[in-house]
């Protein structure tokens, strides 16, 4: 059963909005095939994925805050987050930094 889309093309949370990525794919999936001239990213394994993802998220948060001159509401909008979520992420990172420095 396909999830139902609301009028503006978004799925409702009741219909499984968490899986909305499929709805954004082009009809012709051959466009998704990697270009033969595009080199594969260099990856060294093993990797601590949670640490890597946290560092990537931190970099995007810092870039958004810098671009918006520390305006959390606008930074959250750039990141696709709610302001409260961004503030909570910043609070948790600050606590982690304080704990690791002691």
- Whether 19 is in a domain gets the answer no
pLDDT digits (tens, 9 = 90+) for 56-82: 999 999 999 999 999 999 999 999 999
Domain contains 62: yes
Q: Is residue 92 part of a domain?
A: yes
Two tokens, residue 38: 């595009």
* Domain housing 90: 46-102
Within a domain: residue 100? yes
pTM: 0.56
Name the domain count of the chain.
1
Do the domain assignments include residue 18? Answer: no
Dump pLDDT digits (tens) for 36-53. Answer: 677 777 878 899 999 999
Q: Looking at the chain, list the stretches that DSSP marks H as alpha helix, in order from N- to C-terminal side.
A: 49-67, 72-79, 83-101
Q: Which of 4-8, 16-20, 44-48, 94-98 has the lowest mean pLDDT?
A: 16-20
Domain holding 52: CATH number?
Answer: 1.10.10.60
């Amino acid at each position: 059963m396909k999830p139902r889309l609301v009028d503006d093309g978004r799925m409702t949370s009741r219909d499984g909005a968490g899986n909305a990525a499929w709805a954004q794919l082009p009809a012709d999936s051959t466009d998704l095939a990697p270009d033969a001239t595009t080199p594969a990213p260099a990856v060294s394994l093993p990797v601590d994925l949670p640490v890597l993802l946290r560092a990537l998220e931190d970099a995007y948060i810092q870039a958004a805050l810098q671009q918006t001159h520390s305006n959390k509401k606008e930074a959250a909008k750039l990141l696709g987050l709610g302001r409260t979520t961004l503030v909570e992420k910043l609070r948790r990172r600050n606590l982690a930094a304080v704990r690791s420095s002691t």
